[in-house]
């Protein structure tokens, strides 16, 4: 750590409910989520340095904000008044204390809204640390010595899959001097939202091809005949030279998944994402065997490192698809990536949601530079909806993510966007619904 700076301490914390009305144009719609309003809990952790404010976000589809907001407010007790020195030195123990809060752990443990709220808080601490070091988060982690990095990670309940010593060996074996820091990480565009018309989809696909994007994902699961027509429509535009993946959002049972993917295989999908219930490891194993060589990607809703361990050990997936706001921050995400390395499973990032793209680009750089040193067979999700609300939107070059230069995670929302979309009294919500947005002290949306 930079020793010339004064000790940094957390002074106070702000928690805001931000909601965007994306359901009005079907953005984010799929076979399960018919009317999503892309939303987030926006955490601002203030410190004794007024220039360093840690930002954490928790993505939901609207009303989920209410539950996450309440949990975040309870969990802030774990970080109030802490110094950065203490956080860095005790990150593993602090992570364990937050995740296993003595009264709230009953509402998990390590899953659901509780784990998502914890992720927002923990990522805000990494944001502070990186800003203190005057670096983006990915650069902070790349520059950490392996022994220091490993001590921030928690291996509870997964040492039968990977030990701390094995993980340290993986980190030490990487020659970072041979890593191209200007690497571009291939992206895939989630384009075929269920509620989009063919006309709108055509425009999106044509524009993205001009950007050099080579990977695409469409939603399936409403009706197999319509899914086939949509896949053919997309292939006619992007051709078979580009990657096409599919996402069923967990709505099929095992037999439906196998039957439907055998119908869709003519369109050469690279993977099917969440072909069945995200917790059903046994069915995933059968599906993975039955639809080969189509790959099975899952993990967007995989609650914790233990569940990932079981998917990986039992070959219930062929692509690990993590979500940084589903796992409890970088600390937990990193150990999942180390398991991927040991078991030789590619990582394809899920980042479809508010703030997830900004956070996710750091994970891609960390995976490439610290763990896998490869982009072969890897794609990171990209969506451009709502990027206009961020101070530091991610940058694409020839269809690839470039390493971000903004300090921390670069997930700061613009002040005008916060004033416009904070719920329920932001300008948008008052203008659209008037005072009716709150009725008898209850939100009506």
pLDDT at 352: 81
16, 131, 219, 230: the active-site residue: 219
The full set of domain ranges for the chain reads 10-147+415-443, 176-401
CA-nearest of 147, 130, 150, 148 to 139 is 130
pLDDT at 1: 45
Residue 260 CA to residue 268 CA, distance in Å, equals 13
pLDDT averaged per 10 residues, the chain (length 445): 65 96 74 80 98 96 94 97 96 97 92 96 98 97 96 97 98 82 85 78 94 94 94 96 96 97 98 96 98 96 95 96 92 97 94 89 94 91 89 93 95 97 92 67 52
Residue 231 CA to residue 264 CA, distance in Å, equals 8
pTM of the model: 0.93
pLDDT at 29: 64
Is 219 known to be catalytic?
A: yes
Residue 289 CA to residue 316 CA, distance in Å, equals 9
Cβ neighbour number for residue 369 with a 10 Å cutoff: 20
For 114-137, letters b (16+ CB in 10 Å) and e give bbbbbbbbbbbbbbbbbbbbebbb
Is 164 known to be catalytic?
A: no
Residue 195 CA to residue 219 CA, distance in Å, equals 10
Residues across the chain:
445
CATH number of 176-401: 3.20.20.120
**Superfamily of structural domain 10-147+415-443:** Enolase-like, N-terminal domain (3.30.390.10)
What DSSP assignment string belongs to 361-399? HHHHHHIIIIII---TT--EEE--TTGGGBSS---EETT
- Which three-class secondary structure state does DSSP give residue 210? helix
16, 284, 341, 350: the active-site residue: 350
Phi, psi of 232 (to 5 degrees): -65, -40
pLDDT at 3: 44
* Angle subtended at Cα 297 by Cα 264 and Cα 172, rounded to the nearest 5 degrees: 150
């Amino acid at each position: 750590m930079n020793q010339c700076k004064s000790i940094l301490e957390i002074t106070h914390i702000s928690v805001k409910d931000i909601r965007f009305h994306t359901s009005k144009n079907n953005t984010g719609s799929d076979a399960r989520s018919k009317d999503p309003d892309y939303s987030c809990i926006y955490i601002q952790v203030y410190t004794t340095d007024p220039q360093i404010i840690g930002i954490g976000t928790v993505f939901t589809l609207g009303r989920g904000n209410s539950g996450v907001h309440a949990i975040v407010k309870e969990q802030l007790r774990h970080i109030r008044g802490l110094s950065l020195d203490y956080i860095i030195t005790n990150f593993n123990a602090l992570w364990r204390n937050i995740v296993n809060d003595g009264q709230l752990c009953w509402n998990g443990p390590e899953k659901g809204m509780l784990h998502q709220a914890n992720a927002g808080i923990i990522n805000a601490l990494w944001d502070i640390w990186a800003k203190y070091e005057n670096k983006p988060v990915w650069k902070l982690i790349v520059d950490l010595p392996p022994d220091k990095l490993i001590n921030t990670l928690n291996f509870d309940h997964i040492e039968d899959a990977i030990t701390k010593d094995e993980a340290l060996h993986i980190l030490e074996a990487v020659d970072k001097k041979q890593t191209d820091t200007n690497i571009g990480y291939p992206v895939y565009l989630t384009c075929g939202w269920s509620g989009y018309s063919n006309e709108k989809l055509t425009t999106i696909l044509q524009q993205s091809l001009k950007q050099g994007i080579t990977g695409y994902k469409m939603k399936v699961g409403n009706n197999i005949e319509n899914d086939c027509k949509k896949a053919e429509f997309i292939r006619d535009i992007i051709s078979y030279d580009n990657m096409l993946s599919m996402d069923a959002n967990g709505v099929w049972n095992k037999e439906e998944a196998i039957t439907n993917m055998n119908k869709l295989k003519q369109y050469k999908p690279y993977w099917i994402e969440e072909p069945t219930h995200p917790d059903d490891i046994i069915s995933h194993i059968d599906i993975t065997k039955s639809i080969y060589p189509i790959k099975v990607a899952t993990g967007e809703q995989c609650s914790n490192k233990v569940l990932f361990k079981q998917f990986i050990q039992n070959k219930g997936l062929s692509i690990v698809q993590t979500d940084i706001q589903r796992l409890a921050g970088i600390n937990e995400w990193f150990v999942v990536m180390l398991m991927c390395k040991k078991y030789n499973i590619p990582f394809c990032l899920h980042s479809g949601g508010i703030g997830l793209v900004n956070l996710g680009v750091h994970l891609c750089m960390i995976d490439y530079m610290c763990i896998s040193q490869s982009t072969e067979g890897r794609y990171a999700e990209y969506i451009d909806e709502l990027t206009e609300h961020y101070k530091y939107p991610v940058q694409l070059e020839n269809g690839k993510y470039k390493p971000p230069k903004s300090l921390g995670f670069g997930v700061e929302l613009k002040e005008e966007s916060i004033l416009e979309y904070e719920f329920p009294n932001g300008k948008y919500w008052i203008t659209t619904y008037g005072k009716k947005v709150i009725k008898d002290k209850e939100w009506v949306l």
